[in-house]
Structure 1
Amino acid sequence: MKKNHSLYPNIFWVAILFSISFFFSCSTNNNNTDITAAEIQVSFTSEQYEEGLDGRLIVLISEQIEKEPRFQLRDDSKTCQAFGMDVTNWKAGEPMSFDMKAFGYPIRSFEELPSGEFYVQVLFHKYETFNRADGHTVKLPMDRGEGQQWNKAPGNLYSTPQKITITDGQFPAINIQLDQKIPPITAPEDTKYVKHIKIKSKLLSDFWGRDMYLGAHVLLPEGWETHPDVKYPLAIMHGHFPNDFGGFRMTPPDADLKPEYSERFDVEGYNVMVQQEAYDFYKTWTGPDFPRVIAIKIQHPTPYYDDSYAVNSEAQGPYGDAITYELIPYIEKQFRGIGEGWSRFVYGGSTGGWESLAVQVKYPKEYGMCFAACPDPIDFRAYCLVNIYEDKNAYYKEGAFRKTLVPGHRDYLGNVDASLRDMNYRELVLGTKGRSGQQWDIWEATYSPIDEEGYPKRIWDRLTGEIDAEVAAFWKENYDLAYILKRDWAKHGKDWENKIHLYCGDMDNYYLNNAVYLAEEILSETTAPYYNGVVDYGDRAEHCWNGDHENGNHISRLRYHRMFIKKYVEKVTKVAPKDADLKSWRY
């Protein structure tokens, strides 16, 4: 057969082109290798810690340095960039190479970072080891008085921000020394009116395998010292209160206080308003017409959050019982509380709103009334904008040809600035296994059963948003407050009568009003007895609206005590026994 020699030149050029393509392919791969191989070396000294450290190492990257990058991580478009990785037994003097493939928020990988000049800061969030009574050993960040704030936690290490240049996805190789250590927080001092108590909880210490404590800031009524035979009702405010009895100030606003603008409320000089409101409350509290009660703010931080959500849970232990049967009786004994269920009333907003309703539901005879403002989801058919029982995915509303991100945060006009996925991804950077110390993680730490390692089971996959139906079923039976009210009304309805009061803005930033609507439907259908409480909504009111139709949210959110203490006193005859003393403490 005769060969066609005219094909040989074509074969020759094909070979040449293949070689060139292979060369550029290898060059490109080498460049990618260089990018991912660029190292961030991080170290600390033995003067800071001698023992090996466990925790979370977080790299933060920002455009500006008006405030440190560690204070710029947020859910909306104004956030800085962050990457996180877990660290085990990290020793002083041994540089740690940061994982350049670590998960990031809002940009997922180092290679996708934009070009330009930026500031980089690294923070180490320290974990401790807990040998729990259930046989699990877990590593978690214990609260150290700061309220589970990773960027402010005493003992955490961080670096001085330094300037870097990123070019075409290439992150520079840098060495970072964690040269700063966050100092301890100074405990507040007692005054005539404000006292601080702290007790060791046997229930919690047994569960966690180490000494665990509960505390409270206690506000005593005017005349408490001069009327030693009088016993008082207990006003229990739930919520985030890591430091002191905020909102009570015995002096006018500081004369040299420089007014500051509040971005959240779009108000000039809000810091001055806060001090003025605190001083006004002091004058109201000590004035002749205000009811005389003992007011407390409970301190119950956990290794997962700045408070426990005031209920028993598998991952956190028996906080509900510890607060109800250890802490509150101790306070009543120390400060002359009446000590009966009808004389204890609870109130709070957001987390505190959920807690207030939760303890009233879980302990129907131990508490006499609840005022729950803007509560975290009280009906899991509206877990913000997710129905955990019917939806398959939390992050997307899916159709045959497209899927839409589920909103996570809005303003009072409905403008969305963060998706639910954004909010969960930010937490995932801050901590795996539910250890971010943030909102979605504490809900899981409270409501979920534990996994094989002893950490809370995920209600949904944090990367994909796929919902776990078995975990959802567990949540429903144990922590869906609206469902429990409906399920158990025949059993506890008489103990819940006259006690449930709900308040929420109809433009709550986190869509919490949707769950209140569903709970209202359940309450409105109650019979034998009818619930006989209140459900109220604020028109276009945002998160933390609490029933005040006269003042803006920036003011009303500072008046929980004066609002709800008066409401309780007005309604107390509906829950108190006929022979109860309702006069001696009102002087």
Structure 2
Amino acid sequence: MKKTYLLIVLFLIFGFHSNAQIFEVSFASSLIKEDFSGNVLLYLSKDNKSPKDIFVGLELTPVYRVVVNNLKANEIAVFKDDAVSYPVELSNIERGEYYVQAVFDLNLGDANIGSSSGNMYSEPIKINLTKDFNKVFKIKADKVIKPIKFNETEFLKEVSVKSNLLSKFHKKDMFINAAVSLPKEYYNQPNKEYPVIFSIFGFGANYKLHSGRSAFLEQLEEESTIVVYLDGNCSEGHSTYANSDVNGPWGDALVKELIPVLKQKYRTNGAFLLHGHSSGGWTTLWLQINYPKTFAGAWSSAPDQVDFRNYQNVNIYEADNIFYNDKGNMLPLFTIAGRIPVINAKDFYKTENVIYRGSQIHSFDAVFGGYDKDGNRIRLVDIATGEINKDALALWKRYDISILLRENWANLKDDLQGKIRISVGNSDNIFLNRSVQLLEKEMKPLNTNIVFSYVPGDHFTIFTDEYKKDGMQFLIKCYKNWLIKNK
């Protein structure tokens, strides 16, 4: 009787899927001459007609990954139930019609795998997943993602500087890129020099697509500016121009290699100001604090977590888990107006576990984390359980801006007084306002003179004309202070 019962249980568990759902993916011989080794990704979506272009973590659609070695053109990479998967194995996803695409990741330096230059991909096709698990779907990559073209004009120039610092770190040629927007009178006044505003985009943005569109940075009252749109993209996500154990010395490369080239090529007067939003907002603070003599002022908008006692609404120094609270309830990561949960942390992290690089959480891990003695990456969160890795905390503390300012203000105050403004929406979607509030509480007893501003809106709706005007007025004040000191 017991044996019969066991057989029934085993049948219920395994019998329905004796044949797993299979996708066979290959690439055309015309794309690359050498064999391919690396990660191959399979994207499925019921709604997005170009599934490789999903916003990872915010579009929770099925994604899968396998690793191949020395795969030749037209040979097959097999996706079945042992692929790294989200949300479930291929055989267990909801049946129905899907758009599907495959991407071979060459990891040539861009962040987002689905749009990284040089990656091989298949055109999206529509399939119908039924209960016929014997059906094999064949996908062929026959396209290569082209680099985004930079549209240079008389007043918009691209700068690309080979970084000796980054090249030495990564043991390959590495470049720092930016777009330079020149004032309209630049060529008519050949002896005039200009202040520079560095504009730093948030996660996922690209200077080639966005440069030249934000006119509000072009004037410091009557003074025209040169605007430099920095490129924060790197293979792990956003470099944030922080010197990092994983990404390398991006901050030093900017200050010691790119800025000297800008001074040489363009008529700058030596005043360098900073503005950025989201990850760019965090970058703005980091650069101002770590290179206080280089930069004359920083307006940080909705920066990523500035105090890790509120990292996605979790105190990483005290909490044990980032997926669940003490009552076992799932923790939200993305909300509507900071109140209504939309995406929980577990789903966000699990999706990124498939998209193994270039996504938001992996980007944080690369900037703040590091390696153990065996060369393995030290990550903050155990992807299987959500448990916080206490061994990672010492590494992360190095990048906790609140700790950095609290412990070093006595040495920094002479160079930082009056140079920092932080503005954020009261209803930020990822709780960034709460992190800013923690920082403000710590800064008041130190009389840091950091300006904190909280405005109506969330992470994406705060950029009103008044918001921009207030931020620019602060940079104008910083510039005037610079002029007084440098007359």
1:448 equivalent among 366, 369, 372: 369
1:485 aligns with 2:412: no
Counterpart code for 2:43? L
Q: Is the 8 A contact 1:373 1:545 kept in 2?
A: no
1:566 CA displacement: 4.4
Alignment of 1:58-97 (within 5 A): 58-64=41-47, 67-72=49-54, 74-76=56-58, 79-97=60-78
Change over 3 Å in CA distance of 1:412–1:546 after alignment to 2: closer
2:285 equivalent among 339, 357, 360: 357
Counterpart position of 1:101: 82
Q: Is the 8 A contact 2:42 2:64 kept in 1?
A: yes
Change over 3 Å in CA distance of 1:233–1:100 after alignment to 2: same
**What TM-score, normalized by structure 2, do the two folds share?**
0.91
* Structure 1: distance between partners of 2:162 and 2:267: 20
Change over 3 Å in CA distance of 1:503–1:544 after alignment to 2: farther
1:23 CA displacement: 6.9
Counterpart code for 1:497? Q
SS in 2 for 1:470: helix
1:41 aligns with 2:3: no
Long gaps (5+) in structure 1: 1-13, 128-140, 250-277, 582-587
SS in 1 for 2:33: coil
1:542 aligns with 2:446: no
* Structure 2: distance between partners of 1:289 and 1:468: 49
Counterpart position of 1:439: 360
Counterpart position of 1:225: 187
Q: Is the 8 A contact 2:338 2:428 kept in 1?
A: no
1:300 CA displacement: 4.5
Change over 3 Å in CA distance of 1:357–1:546 after alignment to 2: farther
Change over 3 Å in CA distance of 1:167–1:246 after alignment to 2: closer
2:266 equivalent among 335, 343, 348: 335
Q: Is the 8 A contact 2:276 2:284 kept in 1?
A: yes
* Structure 1: distance between partners of 2:331 and 2:346: 8
1:495 aligns with 2:412: no
Q: Is the 8 A contact 1:504 1:545 kept in 2?
A: no
Q: Deviations over 1:18-63 (max 9, x none)?
A: 66x6776676577356233x43221112211121223322222222
Q: Is the 8 A contact 1:40 1:98 kept in 2?
A: yes
Q: Is the 8 A contact 1:538 1:545 kept in 2?
A: no
1:397 aligns with 2:325: yes
2:114 equivalent among 151, 164, 170: 151
Change over 3 Å in CA distance of 1:469–1:26 after alignment to 2: closer
Counterpart code for 1:382? N
* Structure 2: distance between partners of 1:121 and 1:60: 5
Change over 3 Å in CA distance of 1:223–1:51 after alignment to 2: same
1:429 equivalent among 354, 368, 371: 354
Counterpart position of 1:372: 300
1:171 CA displacement: 7.0
Counterpart position of 2:236: 304
Q: Is the 8 A contact 2:381 2:388 kept in 1?
A: yes
Counterpart position of 1:293: 225
Q: Is the 8 A contact 2:120 2:143 kept in 1?
A: yes
1:187 equivalent among 150, 173, 180: 150
Counterpart code for 1:428? N
Counterpart position of 1:237: 199
1:71 CA displacement: 3.0
Counterpart position of 1:253: none
Q: Is the 8 A contact 1:43 1:95 kept in 2?
A: yes
Q: Deviations over 1:358-407 (max 9, x none)?
A: 111111222111110100001011112111100011111023xxx01111
2:165 equivalent among 203, 209, 214: 203
Q: Deviations over 1:327-353 (max 9, x none)?
A: 1121022112123xxx21111100110
Q: Is the 8 A contact 1:111 1:169 kept in 2?
A: no
Counterpart code for 2:315? N
* Structure 1: distance between partners of 2:26 and 2:264: 50
Q: Is the 8 A contact 2:60 2:347 kept in 1?
A: no
Q: Deviations over 1:500-553 (max 9, x none)?
A: 110000110111111100110112111xxx3223100012x10056675x66xx
Counterpart code for 1:451? D
C-alpha RMSD of matched pairs (Å): 2.7
Q: Deviations over 1:276-299 (max 9, x none)?
A: xx6xx39x958x964212111112
Q: Deviations over 1:427-468 (max 9, x none)?
A: 11111xxx2x01111111011122356454101112211111
Change over 3 Å in CA distance of 1:524–1:23 after alignment to 2: closer
* Structure 2: distance between partners of 1:563 and 1:220: 23
SS in 1 for 2:115: coil
* Structure 2: distance between partners of 1:329 and 1:465: 44
Change over 3 Å in CA distance of 1:245–1:176 after alignment to 2: closer
* Structure 1: distance between partners of 2:374 and 2:71: 21
* Structure 2: distance between partners of 1:458 and 1:149: 20
Change over 3 Å in CA distance of 1:298–1:55 after alignment to 2: same
Long gaps (5+) in structure 2: none
Counterpart position of 1:584: none
Change over 3 Å in CA distance of 1:99–1:89 after alignment to 2: farther
Q: Is the 8 A contact 2:200 2:283 kept in 1?
A: yes
SS in 2 for 1:60: strand
* Structure 1: distance between partners of 2:134 and 2:280: 43
Counterpart code for 1:173? V
* Structure 2: distance between partners of 1:521 and 1:413: 20
SS in 1 for 2:370: coil
1:498 CA displacement: 0.5
Counterpart position of 1:268: none
* Structure 1: distance between partners of 2:437 and 2:351: 29
Change over 3 Å in CA distance of 1:571–1:225 after alignment to 2: same
Change over 3 Å in CA distance of 1:247–1:73 after alignment to 2: closer
Counterpart position of 2:313: 385
1:120 aligns with 2:100: yes
Q: Is the 8 A contact 2:57 2:352 kept in 1?
A: no
**What TM-score, normalized by structure 1, do the two folds share?**
0.76
How many aligned positions are there?
485
